Amino acid sequence: MSDARIRRGGTSRLSPRTSGAKGNGRGRALKKQSRLDRVVAMLPISDATLQRMASWGIVLVVGGVAVGGSIFMGLPAMARMEFANATAKAGFEVAKVEVHGVERMDELSVYNIALGQVDRSMVNVDLPKLRGDLMTLGWVKDARVSRRLPDTLVVDIVERQPVAVWQHDGQLRLIDVTGAVLQTVSASKMPDLPLVVGPNANTQTARLSQLMDAAPALKPVLAGATWIGDRRWDLRFQSGETLSLPEGEPEAAAALVNFARMDGVNRLLGRGIIRFDMRDPDKFVLRLPKDRPGKSDDGKSEEAKATKVAATGGDGDV
């Protein structure tokens, strides 16, 4: 009997300890859960909103993965092509080109570029590239391309203005004031423009124009100019004479103004003189034809007379 009571007593003493341990574990779990609840409760967001936010986060992640995969596999490009094909079948395809601003250049070159695209869908027309291709044409100073739905491209051209014909390497080329080559011309179809001759003469056209502005009376009678040694000009007039100018823009302009003044007083042009040489600022040398009466063998008399003209301000008789 006493043994049985001892076991019961021992068992009764052990049971509370075991049950106490289990109770402490549940207490800790409840304690942790209460802390999380308190943190969530501090947020100004309801449980339903939190669930929606979590759902949208999952959707965004999945959507991002899907878009990334589509880009990797080229699906957007395929979709664009399908859209372009659909719009083309619906009538949105390049069928006409309107060209404005063309006066001298051949319009056919513009049409060939505008209609030479492989893909004529209005959606796929690359306007910047098309403009860049048009800018390679010599006559085109500027260009603008626009769409006019459903099937028309509108091209506005700003042409370069020809100011001279450049003779170099046996060819005649029409050029603008910047020296840009517009097109090749034949000797039989030469336009009524000054002829510039020599290497790099085309790049000096703007300076030649400024030089002639110093003597506007001589501009209408200028036939051409030769760029000598990449440093100075020889001017040729319609009456056949050549005027050799000195190096340097100020010096050349001063000599040309002086020549225009003397021509206005003494009518130097049109009198059968071959060349006027003003390269030396202290001399004004004339070259007469060999068969001209009264010319000395060494030509000193012509030089002396020309020097007198220059020294007397253009009142001497040549």
How far apart are alpha carbons 119 and 80 in whole angstroms? 13
Contact between 128 and 114 under an 8 Å Cβ cutoff? The reply is no
CB burial of 136-160 (b: ≥16 within 10 Å; e: otherwise) equals ebbbbbebebeeeeeeebebebebb
Q: Which of 3-7, 124-128, 277-281 has the lowest mean pLDDT?
A: 3-7
Amino acid letter for position 251: E
- Token digits of residue 106: 């051949």
Beta-carbon contacts of 212 under 8 Å, excluding residues fewer than 6 positions away, are: 218, 219, 222, 256
What digits encode the pLDDT tens for the residues 77-107?
554 555 445 544 544 688 889 999 999 999 9
Contact between 276 and 268 under an 8 Å Cβ cutoff? The reply is yes
CA-wise closest residue to 211 among 241, 176, 252:
252
Distances (CA, A) of 154 to 25, 58, 129, 140: 83, 49, 15, 15
CB burial of 173-195 (b: ≥16 within 10 Å; e: otherwise) equals bbbbeebbbbeebeeeeeeeebb
What digits encode the pLDDT tens for the residues 252-266?
999 999 999 999 999
How far apart are alpha carbons 94 and 153 in whole angstroms? 7
The rounded percent of the chain whose pLDDT value lies above 70 is 62
Give residue limits of the domains in the chain: 1-40, 92-159, 162-311
Average pLDDT rounded to a whole number, residues 11-39: 51
- The pLDDT assigned to 115 comes to 87
Average pLDDT, the chain: 77
CA-wise closest residue to 207 among 241, 262, 242, 164:
164
Contact between 176 and 163 under an 8 Å Cβ cutoff? The reply is yes
The rounded percent of the chain whose pLDDT value lies above 90 is 51
Give the torsion sign (CA, 289, 293, 297, 302). Answer: negative
Average pLDDT rounded to a whole number, residues 157-184: 95
Higher-confidence residue of 276 and 281: namely 276
CA-wise closest residue to 114 among 163, 168, 155, 144:
155
What digits encode the pLDDT tens for the residues 26-56?
555 445 456 656 665 666 666 666 666 665 5
What digits encode the pLDDT tens for the residues 190-232?
899 999 999 999 999 999 999 999 999 999 999 999 999 999 9
Question: Under DSSP, is residue 141 helix (H, G, I), strand (E, B) or coil?
Answer: strand
Domain 162-311 is classified in which CATH homologous superfamily? Answer: Cell division protein FtsQ/DivIB (3.40.50.11690)
Burial label, 299 (beta-carbon count in 10 A; 0-12, 13-18, 19+): middle
How far apart are alpha carbons 286 and 275 in whole angstroms? 6
Beta-carbon contacts of 232 under 8 Å, excluding residues fewer than 6 positions away, are: 244, 245, 246, 247, 248, 252, 279
Sheet containing strand 152-159, edge to edge, reads 96-100, 152-159, 140-148
Domain 92-159, CATH: 3.10.20.310
